[in-house]
Structure 1
Amino acid sequence: MINIDQPSRTKLVGYPGRMMLRDIKRRTLIRKYWPERFRHQLLRKNMVLPDSFKESFVFDEINPVQAMKKQFISIIIQVFCSIRRQDL
């Protein structure tokens, strides 16, 4: 008996294990860039520091978030690192 209530796929899409490989890649990126990104967020959202210091840090060339933008697509950064869309 065929169950017609639930959709079924007849062939594989892509190659087997591709979703797991994407997940592993995302997790390694988070593990690699999390400390730098966390420090950057703390400096940017700090209420004690003057605004001129915060602005100079955001537009600094050595900014780790800027380096990540060049290397990885914005979707991974936005979803797994919680960077707002307007910062991209």
Structure 2
Amino acid sequence: MTGHTITISKNGNVTFRAYFKTMDGGGSSVIYRGKYRQLMPINYGDRAYLQIKNNKAYFLDRNKNLVYNCSFGGSDGLLEDQPCIMPLERC
């Protein structure tokens, strides 16, 4: 996995997309496409919901608990088993 984008249009439509690398280049996959909701259902490994609040995206499990198996690059190298919270930036 190389990254994610979340697009929220003025009419409330949301597209959440994951990007990945492959041997022949790369690609993307739509994880969620639909109306904005408090909890948006996704089928993304052990992640069942996407929640956006306070300019962050939270991955939640089927019981609506925060997932803690994300890896991020940090100043000390790869940080594993981190809370699955992504800061959002306006593009």
TM-score range, shorter chain: under 0.3
Higher share in strand: 2
Q: TM-score, normalised by structure 1?
A: 0.23
Higher share in helix: 1
Greater RCO (Cα-Cα under 8 Å, separation 6 or more): 1
